[in-house]
Amino acid sequence: MEYYHSPDSIKDALSMAREFDGNFIYFAGGTDVQIYRKQKLEKNEHIIDLKSIQDLNSISMKDEVLSLGAMTPLDDIIKSKEIQNYFPLLMEAAKSVATPVIRKTATIGGNLLVRNRCTFYNQSQEWRNGVGSCLRDVGDICQVTGGNNDCYSRNVSDTAAALIALNAEITLINSNEMTQKPLKDIYLPCGIKFHDLDNKNILTQIHVPFRPKKWWYKKLRVRKTLDFTSLTIAATVDNDDMARICLNGVSMAPILIEESLDTLTIESLIKQARKNCKTVDNDLMPLKYRREMINVFLEEWWEYEHHK
Amino acid sequence: MEKVTLTVNGFTQSVLVESHETILDTLRNRLNLTGTKKCCDEGTCGSCTILMDGKPVLGCLTPTLRCVGKEILTIEGISSGESLHLVQKHLVKSLGLQCGFCTPGVVMTAIPFLEENPHASRNEIKESLSGNLCRCTGYKKIIDAVENAAEEMRS
């Protein structure tokens, strides 16, 4: 049996979460999670739909800090004049997610916590039965590497790359307290448990304090629309020439490289990126091509950054 | 099963639905509104696009229970009698359809887009329809039709 619940406050949502004791899934926009349910990759009985919680859908600027409610649709972010003017990197990232219609439902919070993807996992049950289930599903080996310990499914959040490059923080609420932490700290380098939030917490707000001097964003995907990323790079440079380059779609968690432009060289940047990205053959694009594109994108950014 | 009240194409009716059901299945299987097409059933093709409170949403990804208290508009509610909406009229005139399976989704995506962006460029129209797959036309005639509809809407 499946049950749908639509609380209208965070308190009610948390109280339902306690009552259902892990046997539930939160819906933000639900555009990704619905597919997991259809593919029988998500089998919890209860759906807690956060859509009716009005407090979570907002865009505001105070003391030059942008605050976004986690349930703000991506389309609202793209159309916000404040974000267009002051945080164009975030706008570009939001605009590169899915399709225009999906972006009217999909939310920023949902995109930040989007589940990791792999070509051997994100398939119908029939497909998985035919090929063999992987260790993230009910099998005991990784279908990509043949190993039995690690899952290398990829984090595919485009907005996470942008917001980490923008040094964003998030607010989490559970029944006892409200905590704030850097967004980059929630991601874990594991394809199965890809963030450290348990379901007793609700992501409520995203705060962006930092307006970079320069920014750059690029996403690699099969088509120019709909597809999840094969490689996303978001980069910012602040007034002190500190660069923050975030790569996503090529490893289990977003990879952040932070270094001053005074010491950074393109060779060391590529070396760090290639070393930190645990890229395996789990995407539609071939592994060799995706690895090569890391170099290509970073060189493009480097050229853009040093172009006078 | 849960009894819910839905407002579809201006008519309010009560219907029994499963808790996990999508509005696409409710429309097609319980209300016999089969104009909204079920194709990929995973948010990839745009065939099941409907309007919820005037905004386009994908029927295959939207829980029916999320639609309670909202105004749902499907392709059946777009034209008034035999008089087609401008977008429909121009799709016919520009031969913007062949098998017609994707057409309801195209219409339901194009109408709110043109209402919001009456002066949209051809590229903006292309982008707005980028979530609607068509296996017959090669898209050019669909884009032509929406562009022509926009022009007539403005005049």
Amino acid, res. A130: G
Measured distance CA(A35)–CA(A57) in Å, rounded: 23
Using CB atoms, which residue from A1, A39, A99 is nearest to B130?
Answer: A99
Domain span at residue B12? 2-77
pLDDT surpasses 80 at A308: no
Same domain, yes or no: B18 and B41: yes
ipTM over 0.90: yes
What H or E segment, with its residue span, contains residue B103? helix B103-116
**Cβ separation of B42 and A38 shorter than 8 Å?**
yes
pLDDT interval class at A1 (50, 70, 90) = confident
The last residue of one of the domains, among B77, B99, B127, is: B77
Q: What is the mean pLDDT of residues A197-216?
A: 94
Give residue for tokens 């539609």: A284
Half-sphere exposure of A152 (CA within 13 A, CB side): 20
- Residue-wise pLDDT for A179-201, tens only, equals 999 999 999 999 999 999 988 99
Q: How many residues are listed for chain B in this entry?
A: 155
Query: What sign has the CA pseudo-torsion B15, A33, A227, A105?
Result: positive
Same domain, yes or no: B64 and B107: no
For the ranges A101-105, A130-134, A252-256, the lowest mean pLDDT is seen at: A130-134
Backbone angles phi, psi at A238, to 5 degrees: -90, -175
DSSP, res B28: I
pLDDT interval class at A283 (50, 70, 90) = very high
pLDDT at position A267 is: 98
Measured distance CA(B25)–CA(A295) in Å, rounded: 46
pLDDT surpasses 70 at A109: yes
**Cβ separation of A105 and B58 shorter than 8 Å?**
yes
Q: Are A206 and A108 in contact (CB under 8 A)?
A: yes
Same domain, yes or no: B57 and B96: no
- Which residues of chain B are at the A interface, by a Cβ-Cβ cutoff of 8 Å? 18-20, 22, 41-44, 46, 49, 55-58, 60-63, 65-66, 109, 113, 127-128, 130-131
Same domain, yes or no: B14 and B41: yes
Q: Are A80 and A58 in contact (CB under 8 A)?
A: no
Using CB atoms, which residue from A2, A35, A225 is nearest to B131?
Answer: A225
Half-sphere exposure of B74 (CA within 13 A, CB side): 23
% residues pLDDT > 90 (chain A): 95
The last residue of one of the domains, among B53, B77, B101, is: B77
Structure tokens at B55: 């905004």
DSSP one-letter string for A162-231: HHHHTT-EEEEE-SS-EEEEEGGGGB-S-SSS-B---TT-EEEEEEE----SEEEEEEE-SSSSSPPPSE
- Which of B41, B130, B146 is best to mutate for the A interface (most A CBs within 10 A)? B130
Q: How far is CA A212 from CA A15, A104, A148, A236, A304, in A?
A: 40, 27, 42, 6, 15
Q: Considering only alpha carbons, which residue of chain A is nearest residue B50?
A: A101
Structure tokens at B87: 């977008």
User: Can you give the C-alpha Rg of chain A in angstroms?
Assistant: 19
Return the CATH number of the domain spanning residue range A57-208: 3.30.465.10
Please enumerate in sequence order all residues whose Cβ is within 8 A of that of A242, keeping only pairs 6 or more positions apart, or say none. Answer: A258, A259, A260, A261
Same domain, yes or no: B44 and B93: no
Q: Which residues of A touch B61 (CB under 8 A)?
A: 30-31, 34-35, 102, 105
Same domain, yes or no: B92 and B134: yes
Q: Indicate the domain borders of chain A.
A: 1-50, 57-208, 214-306
Same domain, yes or no: B73 and B115: no
Measured distance CA(B78)–CA(B73) in Å, rounded: 7
Measured distance CA(A152)–CA(A70) in Å, rounded: 27
Q: Pick one of 3.40.50.1470, 1.20.1290.10, 3.20.20.70, 3.30.390.50 as the CATH number of A214-306.
A: 3.30.390.50
Question: CATH number, domain at B138?
Answer: 1.10.150.120
Q: Are B145 and B90 in contact (CB under 8 A)?
A: yes
Q: Which residues of A touch B128 (CB under 8 A)?
A: 100
Q: Which residues of chain B have pLDDT under 70?
A: none
**Shortest CA gap A34–chain B (Å):** 6
* CA B65 to mean position of chain CA atoms: 19
Q: Which residues of B touch A104 (CB under 8 A)?
A: 55-57
pLDDT at position A38 is: 95
pLDDT at position A176 is: 87
Measured distance CA(A72)–CA(A105) in Å, rounded: 9
Helix axes B140-154, B86-93, angle to 10 degrees: 130
Q: Which long-range contacts (CB under 8 A, 24 or more apart) does A263-268 make?
A: A266/A298, A266/A299, A266/A302
Please enumerate in sequence order all residues whose Cβ is within 8 A of that of A254, keeping only pairs 6 or more positions apart, or say none. Answer: A155, A157, A160, A161, A164, A184, A187, A246, A247, A248
Task: Tell whether A225 lies on the interface with B, counting CB pairs under 8 A.
Answer: yes
Query: What sign has the CA pseudo-torsion A59, A62, A66, A69?
Result: negative
Considering chain A, what is the average pLDDT of its residues? Answer: 96
State the total domains in chain B.
2
pLDDT at position A211 is: 86
Measured distance CA(B13)–CA(B11) in Å, rounded: 6
Amino acid, res. B14: S
Q: Are A277 and A154 in contact (CB under 8 A)?
A: no
- Residue-wise pLDDT for A214-254, tens only, equals 999 999 999 999 999 999 999 999 999 999 999 999 999 99
- Which of B1, B17, B42 is best to mutate for the A interface (most A CBs within 10 A)? B42
- Residue-wise pLDDT for A19-76, tens only, equals 999 999 999 999 999 999 999 999 999 999 999 998 899 999 999 999 999 999 999 9
Measured distance CA(B26)–CA(A47) in Å, rounded: 18
Same domain, yes or no: B73 and B6: yes
The last residue of one of the domains, among B25, B48, B77, is: B77
Q: Pick one of 1.20.1440.230, 3.40.50.150, 3.30.43.10, 3.20.20.70 as the CATH number of A1-50.
A: 3.30.43.10
Inter-chain Cβ pairs, chain A and chain B, closer than 8 A:
74
Measured distance CA(B45)–CA(B55) in Å, rounded: 17
